[in-house]
Amino acid sequence: MISSPGSIFHLAVLLITISACLTPFCSSKSGAPAPTLIGNGYRLISVDKTADGALIGHLQVNRRNYIYGPDIPLLQLYVKHETDERLRVHITDAQHQRWEIPYNLIPRDQPPAPSKQTAGRSIEKPIKPTEFTGSELIFSYIPDPFSFTVKRKSNGETLFNSASDESSPYNSLVFKDQYLEISTSLPEDASLYGLGENTQPHGIKLYPNDPYTLWTTDQSAINLNMDLYGSHPVYMDLRNAGGEAKAHGVLLLNSNGMDVVYRGSSLTYKVIGGVFDFYFFSGPAPLAVVDQYTQLIGRPAPMPYWSLGFHQCRWGYHNLSVVEDVVENYRKAEIPLDVIWNDDDHMDGHKDFTLNQKNYPHHKLIDFLNKIHARGMKYIVINDPGIGVNASYGTYQRALANDVFIKYEGKPYLAQVWPGPVHFPDFLNPKTVSWWADEIRRFHELVPVDGLWIDMNEASNFCSGLCSIPKGKQCPSGTGPGWICCLDCKNVTKTRWDEPPYKINASGVPVPIGYKTIPTSAVHYNGVREYDAHSIYGFSETIATHKGLLGLQNKRPFILTRSTYVGSGHYAAHWTGDNKGTWNDLKYSISTILNFGIFGIPMVGSDICGFYPAPTEELCNRWIELGAFYPFSRDHANYYSPRQELYQWKSVAISARNALGMRYKLLPYLYTLTYEAHTTGAPVARPVFFSFPNITKLHGLSTQFLLGSGLMVSPVLDKHQTKISVMFPPGTWYNLFDLSKAVVAKETESFSMDAPLHVINVHLYQNTILPMQRGGVISREAKTTPFTLIVTFPAGATNGLATGKLYLDNDELPEMKLGTGQSTYVGFSAKAANGLVKVWSEVEDGEFAVKQGLIIEKVTVVGLAGVHGEFSVSVDGGSGLSTAEVVETELLFMGELIGKGKQKSKMVEVKGLEIPVGKSFTMSWKMVVN
């Protein structure tokens, strides 16, 4: 649904250019020092080791400063090497408990609690600078003014340095009740990624002097360089020294609003509450950083197999017959479709957990669901957190009885969203979580949906301030846009929570942070203020929704959420919100999706063809070609836009059949990547530099990306283009749509590639084994078809090793894991050496795949010479298969060969096989040797 078309307001600010900070204390664009000190720093007055090997110390303010409020006089410092690769630095008030992310939401070790009795005493001898060394990282400090440094043990490289001097454009450590500041110096050539969610027009790399504000906001993705739906205060830093790249990660686990000022040579956090809770991840590979990060925040959720199919949605499917027609038209057009969605059209008056009996009669909807479920299709509906204030509405009545709403002055806070007047559930309250799960259960008994889409959960509010239902008039009126505030509201910005002393750059305009959301002085469970908990609202709803779905039938849940925070990927997928049907938005989608992979939310996609307004036919062609390779692939359109299902244009239908046809062949590969994500955090869609970190010219590449480690997608991103420039890292890259065509790059270089209207360039890297199936128009059928293994070697090679993997399971199980009898893992290998080619597999828990009757029907090896003789196949030590047929094809190349010449390189297809996937096999033959 449209970003509470409260986001219509934000369209007006799209072209506003604004600095990263609205105060006189920020640095200038030139990086000149700040003219006024906000604090005078702290000095370390005590330090000691704890029983578990951590450091604990106390910091005393040097001299109080009253800008943005008085400094907190005494701080507690806690430092611990939590793992070999992870260092934690926690700084808080030494005498009073402060807000932190609840430990039950993101489970982690808890530092010693602050205590007035145990506050440190100043020791007699001066404290000397010292180092606290772990396996991979070193923490060191300077006592006065206090600063700390994190270094890499292997080479002494400084990763984070909070020291400042007179030439620095930032302050020493500042810690006030409502303003915290800390900075780090950076080398100018560092490449930084993360700090989102925002739409970055310059590509995936952070861009100096662009604003990076973290505060979950209902603001559409078309707004550039602004705080959007999610808050992820984490960044990856990639540096290349002497040709060897090393990456590390930095997380500030804090949910309060913040500006992060990146100047190129430094980065400054300006936070309006909470604590400094830093986690440093040593890497050094980009994949290792994400692995270490998700080990802390929670591994990405296991995804159902069907969720990797294609999804169709629209706000404006006015009745069930329209939905039925959409499904039927996809079938007639032979365009793959796994999931049909309803926005709020199915609801009674936009109210959650209800059904519009006129437009979606219950018995007819159940008949429809029985029909599509029998086919293997799925059905998902939307849910918003705002619960309509309506005495006859059962969900509302039960909510009141359970006292689950966020309060203002002791009463449920009144807001307005799609149903009209609403209250917002407080998901920090355990009773709310139980009530929410019960409502999900009740609705599922009415309509057996296959997942839930939770939207508007920043939280979005069409009004601002303290409101009441007007007397004597209908609200909403039932005419005109539904997002116009019709409540009687008054300003509540006079509290220090609603009008904090430091103004973050919320919404890119100088509005109160409570604008079009819950007032930040509102109160959650146990007295928690919205001021602190605002940016975890959607996260807490996601956890409650996951618990509710998991409790239904103990099946694997599927949740799509708009608002996200650190750890949301442990429970849900994400889409990038309201985008436009423009070529720029097509480009922007790549960077946003790649960022979310770094954030630990790998199941992510953008609305294909754009949410609004109408895309051109050419744009929709190109968008489905790209969107077919998003991890989450869904077409979604606005109520006010023309219909844009993929069958609406003949040309788009052709592109959809081509691109989605390939996606459905790749489903086993994509599913294996989701298993890798679930077990190691590895993003499904990755920047190209993840596989080639030492190549600096790839560090900013934002127009191409990888699926896994070696499948590169290079879309057309501009109109009227039939050729594009594609950057290829060194090696051989095979055209996935025609493996007889390859590109060989001696070094990282760009090639001009043909890209007619219905073509997207997808290339498979050397030394890879890619499992594929025949495909189909629905995942349930596609996953039963025979497999082909594509084995790639460098063109012209006579020696080499290729590897690949395959994970299969019963995707209704809540977990993705081996050893249950309901899953199989296969490792594939291929080796060329001494004139012999050998391809083999090693199988774990093969019984599941054997029971499914899955077979390998073809093995295709590209890049080597042809077959000379002595071909053999054995399965689990059994006799060879006599039905195999070998076909050789000459390869066509673009670029120079690495090796001995084009005549040595062929595509060898071994057809007619019937090798059970669940059994180990070995295949070998002699190569032609010149």
d(CA 158, CA 185): 9
Known catalytic residue at 445: no
pLDDT score, position 116:
67
Instruction: List the catalytic residue out of 177, 197, 291, 458.
Output: 458
pTM above 0.75, yes or no: yes
Dihedral, 368, 372, 377, 383 alpha carbons, nearest 10: 10
Task: Name the token pair of 651.
Answer: 């040309």
Phi, psi of 232 (to 5 degrees): -135, 90
pLDDT score, position 320:
98
Q: What is the pLDDT of residues 25-51, one digit of tens each?
A: 344 333 444 447 898 999 999 999 999
Q: Which residues lie closer than 8 Å to 199 by C-beta, 6 or more apart?
A: 221, 222, 223, 224, 225, 226, 228, 588, 591, 592
d(CA 96, CA 89): 18
d(CA 839, CA 671): 23
d(CA 918, CA 825): 8
619 with 586: CB under 8 angstroms?
yes
Sheet with 276-281, side-by-side order of all strands: 42-49, 55-61, 74-81, 86-93, 276-281, 244-252, 232-241, 191-196
**DSSP-assigned beta bridge partners for residue 43:** 60
Instruction: List the catalytic residue out of 338, 455, 498, 618.
Output: 455
pLDDT score, position 756:
98
498 with 514: CB under 8 angstroms?
yes
In order of start, what are the domains of the chain with their CATH numbers?
Answer: 42-297 (2.60.40.1760), 305-674 (3.20.20.80), 706-926 (2.60.40.1180)
| CA angle 564–405–350, rounded 5-degree value | 70
Task: Name the token pair of 835.
Answer: 């004139």
Instruction: List the catalytic residue out of 277, 343, 578, 909.
Output: 578
Known catalytic residue at 458: yes
Q: What is the pLDDT of residues 840-860, one digit of tens each?
A: 999 999 999 999 999 999 999
SS3 content of the chain, % helix, strand, coil (to 5): 20, 30, 50
pLDDT score, position 512:
86
Kindly list the distances between the CA atom of residue 338 and the CA atoms of 330, 373, 448, 664, 813, in Å, as whole numbers in the listed order.
Answer: 10, 10, 16, 11, 19
pLDDT score, position 882:
58
Nearest to 735 by CA among 764, 758, 775, 770: 764
Q: Which residues lie closer than 8 Å to 528 by C-beta, 6 or more apart?
A: 99, 428
Pick out the chain residues at pLDDT < 70. Answer: 1-35, 116-125, 510, 879-882, 896-903, 930
pLDDT score, position 904:
75
Q: Name the burial class of residue 134, with classes exposed (0-12), middle (13-18) and buried (19+) by CB atoms within 10 angstroms of its CB.
A: buried
Known catalytic residue at 578: yes
